[in-house]
């Protein structure tokens, strides 16, 4: 049996940047210093009016192919996670298959999940590989939440940014993704929602849980989402640890959905974790929904903090209500891909797994992180 492993990741962000200074000049009554202190966000990228999730996703995938010398003909399946599809139908992943020049023999599908979407996508890709259906899965996450937000909406415009991440999930001889845990509670659907654009008539549509203060199509009940996250994430962490047979000391980092700094700090307090074990990637990107975790992984790899052998937990939670987590041991290093008659052959040109924390199969533990 082969197992899914997280390979290279590429991201793409829209050209337009809205920073806090710009918003403060446009809306002088907005206290941008206080907003930054709560959100941890200094700027966010905003899609152009004619720029959709597929455009961002295609650009991220093209970067992935170019930066890592990936032959697109070796892709067996395309998974596209978005809540801002180009159309109600057809499936956006089908459009992306044609634009990317991927083989017509591949499978391609969209799945509508937000903040938990990356972990869900990894589980789907891992299952396809374990089942022998695919060897290389292209997992793309892309959102343009800005299209749902009114410019005067202080609560949402200062938080959400647009962006995309393309992740290659490859077949590996040893498992590195394990102990997937999921949760769903549709009772909380009215805390974060867009009720327009679907088939259900507006007169019969789900209503926001509390009074809608802003004219945005997107509604968010921030306090309720914080309460929800503090309730579900701690038991999620314990279930993932139990499934992986890890202890808390064996987890080098908890890579959480980057909602806001306020949310992350409350989770740190509830989980008794410090900042070193819960890294952030918010300030330059904002909350990019399903792309926050892959963007965080990409940044940690580039900074050298995430190397082969590091044991982490991936944690997503939010709209749905939906949550998901898994245990992940980093195995990827910079690779050069060469094509042979039998398919892609990879040669490591970066750090070997046994150069960090000893044998990659042995839990590096907290002392490995402190020494790094």
Helix (H, G, I), strand (E, B) or coil at 368: helix
Annotation marks residue 287 as catalytic: yes
Which is catalytic among the residues 52, 81, 115, 326? Answer: 115
- Length of the chain equals 372
Q: Residue 289's Cα: distance from chain center in Å?
A: 7
- Distance in angstroms (rounded) separating the CA atoms of residues 274 and 272: 7
Going by C-alpha positions, the residue among 333, 316, 340 that lies closest to residue 9 is 333
Going by C-alpha positions, the residue among 30, 7, 323 that lies closest to residue 165 is 7
Structure tokens at 148: 């749902």
Structure tokens at 304: 């050298």
Annotation marks residue 112 as catalytic: no
Which is catalytic among the residues 20, 287, 326, 368? Answer: 287
Which is catalytic among the residues 45, 257, 277, 368? Answer: 257
Helices (H), the chain: 20-26, 32-39, 53-67, 92-100, 117-130, 154-157, 222-244, 261-271, 292-303, 365-371
Paired residues of 311 in beta bridges: 329
Output the CA angle 2-304-79, nearest 5 degrees: 40
Annotation marks residue 69 as catalytic: no
Catalytic residue positions?
115, 257, 287
């Amino acid at each position: 049996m082969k197992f899914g492993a997280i390979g290279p990741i590429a991201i793409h962000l829209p050209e337009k940047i809205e920073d806090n200074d710009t918003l403060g000049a446009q809306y002088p009554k907005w206290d941008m210093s206080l907003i930054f202190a709560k959100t941890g966000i200094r700027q966010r990228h905003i899609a152009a009016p004619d720029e959709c999730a597929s455009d961002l996703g295609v650009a991220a995938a093209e970067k992935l192919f170019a930066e890592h010398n990936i032959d697109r003909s070796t892709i067996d399946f395309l998974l596209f996670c978005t809540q801002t599809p180009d159309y109600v139908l057809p499936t956006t992943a089908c459009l992306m298959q044609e634009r990317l020049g991927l083989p017509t023999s591949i499978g391609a599908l969209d799945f509508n999940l937000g903040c938990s979407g990356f972990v869900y996508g990894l589980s789907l890709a891992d299952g396809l590989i374990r089942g022998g259906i695919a060897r290389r899965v292209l997992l793309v996450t892309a959102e343009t939440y800005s299209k749902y937000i009114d410019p005067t909406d202080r609560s949402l415009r200062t938080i959400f940014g647009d962006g995309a991440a393309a992740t290659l999930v490859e077949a590996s001889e040893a498992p590195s993704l394990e102990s997937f845990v999921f949760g769903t509670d549709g009772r909380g659907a009215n805390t974060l929602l867009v009720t327009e654009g679907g088939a259900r008539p507006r007169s019969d549509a789900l209503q926001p849980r509390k009074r809608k203060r802003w004219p945005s199509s997107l509604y968010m009940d921030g306090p309720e989402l914080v309460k929800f996250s503090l309730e579900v994430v701690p038991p999620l962490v314990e279930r993932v640890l139990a499934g992986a047979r890890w202890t808390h000391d064996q987890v080098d980092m908890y890579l959480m959905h980057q909602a806001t700094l306020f949310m992350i700090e409350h989770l740190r307090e509830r989980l008794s974790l410090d900042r070193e074990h819960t890294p952030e990637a918010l300030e330059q990107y904002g909350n990019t929904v399903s792309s926050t975790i892959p963007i965080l992984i990409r940044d940690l790899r580039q900074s050298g903090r995430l190397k082969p052998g590091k044991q982490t937990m991936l944690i997503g939670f939010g709209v749905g209500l939906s949550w998901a987590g898994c245990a992940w041991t980093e195995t990827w290093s910079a690779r050069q891909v060469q094509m042979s008659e039998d398919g892609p052959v990879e040669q490591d040109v970066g750090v070997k797994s046994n150069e960090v924390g000893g044998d990659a199969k042995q839990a590096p533990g907290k002392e490995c992180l402190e020494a790094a």
